[in-house]
A and B are shown apart, each in its own frame.
Chain A
Amino acid sequence: MSDRAGAGALDLAQRALAAAGGRDALATVTRERSTMLRFARTRPTQATAVDDLTVEVAALRAGHVGRAATNRVDRGALEDCARAAVLAAETAAARAGAGHFPGFPAPAASRGHGGHDPSTAQLDPAAGSAALAAAFDVAERDGVEAGGIWTAAEGETAIASSTGAELSDRVTDAFMKVIATAPGGRTGYAAQTTVAAGAIEPAALAERAVAKALVAGEPATAEPGEHTLVMEPHAVLELLSILGYTAFDGLAHAEGRGALSGRLGTRIVSPAINLSDSPRFHATLPRAFDAEGTPKAPLPLIQDGVAHRVVHDTRSAAVAGAGTASTGHALVAGGQASGPSPTNMVLIGGGARDEHELCAPVERGIYVTRLWYANVVRPADTLFTAVTRDGTFLIENGEITRPLDDVRIADTALGILSRVEALGARSVLTSDGELYGRRFATGAVCPPLRAHGVRVSSSAG
């Protein structure tokens, strides 16, 4: 974390901090180098290479934080950026009186991690091309069409602050997904997220996706009502993501809007649920510090079904008061408007060997590969709705018997986790691969699970 590239980003952050006058300010440099190859109908359709960075200056005046960002790095641009941030904070201080942001964190040592793979950082397009070719071979062999992406990136973050922080961190991430479409239109999905692009297994992903698309039989239709679901890790990820911003957001919690407001220390889900934010857990996408330079550290969120903690940045901790401190979950220096969020959730697995074993006791149920367009309806209750996609099957007498038309689920994330009957033993790093804006790859480590009484509102077929 201290090679020439890292030092370059830190030097730039220090220059931006100096441009802000060196007091009551924090400067961040985030750089992205990425390659993404996209494919559809078993041929490459897009190839995107990005090399860009963002310099952001956050200035603090009388408890208000003003921010400005630029992707220009010349001296004049840094001065303009710093001036805009300071002006914003000073204007707010003059107009709104004293704010409550207590100050940027004092420097603290962060631990190293294994989240950077030098080979991945090469961003060799030939590696991606070979991955696509491997997936195409499987698809063509079985007479299906393949779509998806292969992508790899190196990200670099450096922070310099007036409190003395001088930090830099480099990470890599890689992701591939394959959606196979059978001649009749049935689809199957498989995806893999890793720190090292070399660990991605394109042919294996394609095999799994193709196998789902080719499950034989006339699609059945599920009736509205309560069903037992076996959910693959990709579907479980959606539940955890929903909890990330409805339950564990410390700002919403402090304002009484959160799903755990008034419920910390009480049982909220099945005792089988143990969930933490664990940035150094095996197979996660680690980062050394958050957007304010606070070191990342493990934080228990739910233990044995009991709500334990919510996550904080400096701002939400100040709102919570009573000695609350940042837990290292700032997404933006000074606090993101929507609040802090966990970025490395780990759901501990259970005893079931795999998804087949989870299906075994189910007389009639639904097997779900992934959820789509999951959106919260009532945040304080974690009520959401979503449709299943790319691999929904009927479970009969303990086995997957035939395809099932996709279904719409309308239930609460906490409710589903309270009805968990069993968890798979094998947890995997799972990501949705949605990479908007400056690339900030995150994922959750989660197992498959089985839950009963999940509310299906309609068939979406």
Chain B
Amino acid sequence: MRDLLRDLMDTASTRVDYADARHVRLRQETVAMRNGELDELDTHEEEGFGVRVQVGGGWAFAAAAGSDRAAAEEALKRALAIAQAQPQAGAPALAPEPPAIGSYASPADVDPFSVPPEDKLALLAEADAAMRAEPRVTVALAHAQSRVEHKLFASTEGALCEQRLTECGGGVEATAVGAAGTQERSYPASHSGGIAQAGWEHTLALDLAGHAPRVAEEAAALLDAPPCPEGPTTLVLGGEQLGLQIHESVGHAVELDRILGYEASYAGTSWVPADGLGSLRYGSEAMSVTADATLPGALGSFGWDDEGVPAQSIPIVREGELRGFLSSRESAAEAGLERSGGCARGESFARQPIVRMTNVSLDPGDGGSLEELLAGVDHGVYIDNNRSWSIDSRRLNFQFGGQAAWEIVDGRLGRLLRDPVYAGVTPAFWASLDSVCSAGEWRLTSLTDCGKGEPGQVAHVSHGSAPARFRDVLVGSA
């Protein structure tokens, strides 16, 4: 395959300004038990070539299934045909990058596809049964995902690199139905559970069955819980909800393709200006954010991005001031950056790489433990897992809902509250951040449903954070 891609790029080099090609082989599996029955035991395998060419200023990308020379050449041929049919445009420059050479594999102790399916079902069946012990749980769901992706990348600049990325994880969800409505609780998170770049050992370490009774109990308890009170108050976010807050209001907002207008037709633009580096105030001095594609175990980590740019750790916000963007080679060049931030990724062989988040994380602060953070709250609300999310196309005006909230009274967690929502405007919200817990509380959360691009692409990414405290946030009940 290495020779095939090298030959393909040799062929392309005589006809293009630039070309690159990826061969991607993907294997993934979803296993789920629902109410005592198999819900899914799906495996999916695919492989193919994605070839991107730049000819006379026009970009084109073509994908063809398969692994042989004919498929690769067909993809190149169609990419050339489409590029030549495009309306002429000025040739976009690419930020310079030394050719990527080498190989990389994400850490994984146990190959998930070496684990017998009956073992996976047994693990999930135990968790599923534990949730159904709670009589008011109508739907119990226990699920696990495994994925291995092998990618080979080559370019007309001489790059040739190979990587293997393994992801595993899962979760449990309990849905309780009562006269007053429907309530859900999830562990460790509502968006596909907890997925990591790791082997099956990560799924086992989640201890789904151990957490299942609590999840079911909380879902049932929410049916009787009072609604979250309305009004401005102190909001403490943790876990998945804080990760999603970072994702939506920081991660997407600093994607350079959005800032430059190239996502205007779908995902949107950004309130962050291209000339804001070093001057734009994003939030309070307690806010520092880093985009790190080298984090072990995180879903946005890799050896190289899909343009052959090595993984980097980039400061995005330092003490509230904007310091960096998420960029590709093309967007970096247009914005005058010295090099790409290494954020170009394609969902599969059949999708063109675009700017995607690496692991955008809130740096730990000096707030100590969660208990110490809460101690500074006379009255407020704590939210962990996400239930609903919505933000405008410039990433300014948002409303999030949690699965549950806990009242904070006199520095301690109190009553369970149902249907919590909060709303805000991005810079004002981050300006209200007054403390972040210390490194001992810092955890990764995962998202495997981040949609962007046309045709649509779904990216997997992780966000690290420790619980954070925001003052005077508008909180209410859905």
Contacts and interface: CB of A to CB of B under 8 A. Distances in A.
Interface residues of B, number: 79
Given A41-B262, A96-B36, A257 B65 contact: no
B59 A45 contact: yes
Interface in B252-280: 261-266, 268
A375 B62 contact: no
Given A64-B38, A96-B37, A337-B40, A88 B117 contact: yes
Given A91-B121, A125-B85, A181-B264, A377 B61 contact: no
Interface in B348-401: 350-352, 354, 387-393, 396-397, 399, 401
A337 B350 CA distance: 25
A87 B117 contact: yes
Contacts of B125: 95-96
B62 A49 contact: yes
Given A44-B86, A255-B138, A378 B122 contact: no
Task: Describe B's contact surface by its main secondary structure.
Answer: strand
Interface in A56-86: 63-72, 77, 80-81, 84-85
Interface string B225-263: 000000000000000000000000000000000000111
A320 interface: no
| Interface residue SS majority, chain A | strand
Interface in B402-460: 419, 421, 423, 451, 454-458
A34 B268 CA distance: 24
B419 A373 contact: no
Interface string A116-139: 000000000110110011001000
A458 B58 CA distance: 42
A433 B82 contact: no
Nearest to A148: B265
B206 interface: no
A70 B86 contact: no
B122 A95 contact: yes
A394 B360 CA distance: 38
Contacts of A256: 138, 177
A50 B32 contact: no
A385 B393 contact: no
A89 interface: yes
Given A71-B46, A387-B397, A149 B456 contact: no
Contacts of A217: none
A444 B388 CA distance: 24
Given A377-B478, A383-B478, A48 B261 contact: no
Nearest to A64: B38
Interface residues of A, number: 94
Contacts of B391: 373, 387
A435 to B, nearest CB: 5
Contacts of B341: none
21 contacts: A43-B87, A44-B59, A44-B86, A63-B37, A65-B38, A66-B42, A67-B41, A88-B38, A91-B117, A91-B118, A128-B85, A129-B85, A147-B264, A149-B266, A181-B264, A257-B177, A375-B390, A383-B478, A389-B268, A389-B393, A460-B392
Interface of A: 34-41, 43-54, 63-72, 77, 80-81, 84-85, 87-89, 91-92, 94-96, 99-100, 125-126, 128-129, 132-133, 136, 145, 147-149, 151, 177, 179, 181, 187, 255-257, 337, 372-381, 383, 385-387, 389, 406, 408, 410, 433-437, 439, 457-461
Interface of B: 32-34, 36-48, 58-66, 74, 78-79, 81-83, 85-87, 89-90, 117-118, 121-122, 125, 138-139, 175, 177, 181-182, 261-266, 268, 350-352, 354, 387-393, 396-397, 399, 401, 419, 421, 423, 451, 454-458, 478
Nearest 7 CB-CB pairings of A with B = A436-B456, A92-B38, A88-B41, A460-B397, A125-B85, A147-B265, A49-B62
